[in-house]
Structure 1
Amino acid sequence: MVKMEEVKELIKDKAGFILSNLLSQGGEYGEIFYEKSRTTRLELEDRKLGRVSHGYDEGVGIRLIKNGRTFYGYTTEPTYENLLELAKTLARGEGYGPVAVGLRYLEGWTPVIIDPDSEDINFRADILRRAEEKARSYGDRIKQVLSVLMDKTREVLIVNSLGETTEDVQKRVVFFVEVVASDGEVLQRGYESLGGRKGFEIFEETPPEAVASRAAERALLMLTAKPAPAGQFTVVLSSQAGGTMIHEAVGHGLEADLVQKGLSVYAGKLGEKVASELVTVIDDATLPNHNGSFTVDDEGVPAQRKVLIKEGYLVGYMYDRLRAMKEGRESTGNGRRQSYAHIPIVRMTNTYIDKGKDDPEDIVRDTKKGVYVVKMGGGEVNTVTGDFVFEVMEGYMIENGEITYPIRGATLIGNGPKALQDIDAVGRDLGWAIGTCGKDGQGVPVTDAQPTVRIRKLTLGGCQVCE
């Protein structure tokens, strides 16, 4: 196998010939995408180190956009002969087409203090053991503990027919703890995560014990919770809830591929009021250290900050190169792919509702009766209609402006655009949560956030007659 640096030099040296062959039978755009990644993942469950995986992946994808369609192929043996043959196969012919060379070069990297590539398995295992022991310290009601640590280094090189060459080194760490507690009759789950575009110094900022404590405390708290009542309630979403709702119920609907296919409730609504005037929604890949951040996207477009909804009005969508070309626009830097074996598609990065001016405590105090959501779980959304259902992992009732008893078994049911319209208070805080966004069979790292917000009315799924 050719060494990584040799492959990169080969691509830089021969890109003009390969891309010219790729465009020999016409086309609007050609691209070579090289990637080498190292992924390490450890799982510790009930004091036993179970799944341990450590491996490398390397390959090159070549893409042709012709007449608005994508033609793609990839190889794990990136010799010049293989790349040239792949280009000719995608072009369906031989010859030479016009390409630009050397017009722009951009290089990025991830600054780290404790480089994961310099640490061994024992270092990682110790982090997991620390989390496990802290969770177990909460007593016999803790029945199961699962802690997972995953870190990845990803090096990419992108050369295209527009004369642009970009390189980026991305390092990410993801850590989570899941705890199951039982009082002998009821089982409850607690979950907490941590991660970002950084090295293992993340655990000096937030120790693994702190993550484990939050997961264990949440599981134990839910053992004392009352069954959630069913009905319509005012809902206050804490900034700690993360941005699950904004990501699922709003963000996907602002991705240009779904908009162009008519699969978004926001299609054809540019310039229209789609949310409360208190709401501004932003997607920003330039934020330092966040899980969805990068120097360039997977099409070589520099990271950007995009305002999607401004003071309630829809002002933009997220684009990759293909969808931008279809509308005569520029990409917004939202072309992302899971690996060299996948085509880039429109994806979010770090998506959030911008902070407002209200005091979070005042928002609760001004709510006579409602539900206070501290942590959201998983959910589903229909991007065509905007209808959603989300699990509430940690929630409480609000009575006369005070947070009272915890509730369990709750789900939030509503409509994304309607929920945005019904926001009548936005806090000046902002809380972030990491995730992996799945779409079209691909997963990419993201971060979502929101301040404390109050929604006038949502349906709470629970029990009809509660004790």
Structure 2
Amino acid sequence: MESVSIKAQEAQDVLHLAVERMRDLGADFADARSQTVRVTGASTINGDLKQLVQKSTGGVCLRAWSGGRWGYGTSTSFDREAVLRAAEEAAANAKGDGIPGLELEPAVVRGDHRAKVRIHPDSVDLTEKIQAALDIDRAQAIDDRIINRAGAYSEEIKTNALVNSAGSDLSWEEVRTLCRAMSIAADGQRMEQYYDGPDSTKGFEVVRDADLEGIGRGAAREAIVTLGADRAPSGNMTVISDPMVSGLLAHEAMGHASEGDEITKRRSFLTDAVGRKVASDLITMYDDGTVAGAHGSIPFDDEGTPSSRVTIIDHGEYKGYMHSLETASRLGVHPTGNGRAENSGKRVWVRMTNTFFGPGDWDKDELIADTKEGILCDKMLNGMEDPVGGCFEAKCLRGYLIRNGEIVKPVQSFTLTGKSIDILSSADALTNEVLLDGGMCGKGIEDWVRVSTGGPYMRARMIVGGGQ
């Protein structure tokens, strides 16, 4: 343990030297962040191990702020001289035309912050991780109509250290653990799929506490049920979005449009929207990186700003945006802890963490019983962001028709579209339970970070496009 501590201190000392070098070269502000990411993943198909991945990547990102302009330098080596050369490169890149008059508000944080996990994945043998993927795979073998079944286990352990010229000197760890079942059913005429499984910033307890047998059997059973689904109807309908689809609406339609860099570039339909009515009084929406155990939670963003809860919509009124150091300065507000980078080799953008709608006061069964005619969503396949136009588009895995307050039959995959403000303004009921679902988010088509999305079941009007 002593040698590990010494090595960590030596690495931190190099970051201090790099910050001093950038300041000596004229930077108004500078920070240096090192990062190591270790990934383990096992995937199986039909009871056989098909892929086993163990990899480690890392590097150092140096940033210099001078005259309202960032300069970046990166190093894939932790060697002192390589890091100092990257620091000099960052200081040189910061010289040029910037935005005068901007003063950053960096956090001053110190200390070592370990991930709050009960069973650290490093303490678990690889064979048990592989077995988890095999167990959730084999549990799906309940019927000959399951023609393909897959299991997956993955973990990501990210170790960060950051020093800045304001006085921050900190390190923190992020642990993420995921297990998934995917079933594909066929009956000679049709093929359908279903998936399920936990994800979290908890440790291996996510797997040991889960009913892998039940998750696997459930995914297979639901894939078979969907074989008997009818084609979904089309038209402007009452839709009860499940937490995954509600979360997709929060993330894709409203979340990306609430990222501060889209606002400063005036590329968002929510530019100048603060104080405006954008949803029904029932709708409150957050981005909150502090949710315990959620897949998108972070103790600090990649600028060293502590994570926080940002209220984006409050009872229908638009309240504000997510920010990095730069966008907060440009708009005269405080940073929110949303400055995130895919890795040490990429630049910082304003990014979401856990984005979701708050709860209502309905019970799910009461909400269905109160719906005369509509469609209930069950899981999503994908969605599309549109921060400029404010439109929503999503593809649902499947759903259920509701008539006279009762679920009458399942329906195949269908699309949902509409103007996001119109959808949220039509919302008239939300359930009292909020669920989050983890995944990856790209800024456009690149720069991926870990997030989660979610919300309650929400009843609103949307345009439904009938299935295949």
Q: Give matches, 1:157-168, under 5 Å.
A: 157-168=161-172
**1:242 and 1:375 in contact (8 A); partners too:** no
Task: Tell whether the 8 Å contact from 1:348 to 1:446 is kept in structure 2 after alignment.
Answer: yes
CA drift of 1:76 comes to 1.9
What are the Cα deviations for residues 375-433 of structure 1, in whole angstroms up to 9, with x where unaligned? 12212132111112211112011101111100003111112121111111111121221
Q: CA deviation at 1:227?
A: 0.6
1:390, 1:411 within 8 Å by CA — same for their partners in 2?
A: yes
CA separation of 1:132 and 1:372: change in aligned 2, threshold 3 A: same
How far is the alpha carbon of 1:54 from its aligned partner? 0.5
CA distances 1:36-91 after superposition (whole Å, capped 9, x unpaired): 12110111012221111102222111112333332212112222222222212222
Note if 1:180 corresponds to 2:184. yes
Query: Does 1:371 find its partner at 2:366?
Result: no
Instruction: Tell me what 1:335 maps to.
Output: 339
Cα deviation code 1:304-339 (max 9, x no counterpart): 111111011111100011211222322101111221
Aligned to 2:203: 199
| Amino acid across the alignment from 1:142 | I
The answer on whether the counterparts of 1:8 and 1:157 sit within 8 Å (CA) in structure 2 is: no
Pairs within 5 Å for 1:4-403: 5=5, 8-92=8-92, 104-136=109-141, 138-239=142-243, 241=245, 243-403=247-407
Report how far residue 141 of structure 1 moved: 0.1
Task: Flag the 1:142–1:459 CA change in 2: closer, same or farther, 3 A.
Answer: same
Runs of 4+, deviation exceeding 4 Å: 3-7, 99-103
Kindly tell me: are residues 430 and 100 of structure 1, through their superposed partners in 2, closer, same or farther at Cα, counting changes over 3 Å? closer
What letter matches 1:252 in structure 2? H
Contact 1:242 1:431 in 2 (8 A): no
Q: Is the 2:287–2:310 Cα contact (8 Å) retained in structure 1? A: yes
The count of corresponding residues between Structure 1 and Structure 2 is 456
In structure 1, what is the Cα distance between the partners aligned to 2:414 and 2:248? 15
- Distance in 2, Cα, partners of 1:242 & 1:281: 11
The alpha carbon displacement at 1:25 in A equals 4.6
Cross-structure match for 2:100: none
Deviating more after overlay: 151-160 vs 213-222: 213-222
The one of 442, 446, 454 equivalent to 2:451 is 446
Q: Name the TM-score, length of structure 1 as normaliser.
A: 0.92
2: CA distance, partners of 1:209 / 1:66: 57
Amino acid in structure 1 at the alignment position of 2:325: R
Q: 1:248 to 1:102 in 2, by over 3 A?
A: closer
Structure 2: stretches of 5+ with no match in the other structure = 95-103
Bigger mean CA deviation after superposition, 320-329 or 301-310: 320-329
Aligned identity (percent) is: 29
Aligned-partner Cα distance in 1 for 2:123–2:442: 30
Give the aligned partner of residue 405 of structure 1: 409
Contact kept, 8 Å, 1:64 with 1:71, in 2: the verdict is yes
The residue identity in structure 2 corresponding to 1:282 is Y
SS for the counterpart of 2:31 is strand
Task: Tell whether the 8 Å contact from 1:391 to 1:411 is kept in structure 2 after alignment.
Answer: yes
Partner Cα separation in structure 2 for residue 102 and residue 280 of structure 1: 28
> Would the alpha carbon gap of residues 287 and 23 (structure 1) be closer, same or farther in structure 2, given more than 3 Å must change?
same
Unaligned runs of 5+ in 1: none
- Alpha-carbon distance change, 399 to 18 in structure 1, aligned in 2, over 3 angstroms: same
Deviation, structure 1 residue 129: 1.4
Change (3 A) 1:103 1:393: closer
Q: Please report how far the alpha carbon of residue 240 of structure 1 lies from its aligned counterpart in structure 2 after TM superposition.
A: 6.0
| 436-445 or 399-408: bigger deviation | 436-445
CA distance in 1, matches of 2:108, 2:359: 39
- Backbone CA RMSD of aligned residues: 2.3
Structure 1 residues 101 and 432, CA gap change in structure 2 (3 angstroms): closer
Q: In 1, distance between residues paired with 2:42 and 2:447?
A: 22
Contact 1:100–1:161 (Cα < 8 Å) also in 2: no
Note closer, same or farther for the CA distance 1:169–1:463 as it changes in structure 2 (3 Å cut): closer
What secondary structure does 2:140 align onto? helix
Preserved contact between residue 399 and residue 413 of structure 2 (Cα < 8 Å):
no
TM-score normalised per structure 2: 0.92
Q: Map of 1:454-465 to 2, 5 A cutoff?
A: 454-455=459-460, 457-462=461-466
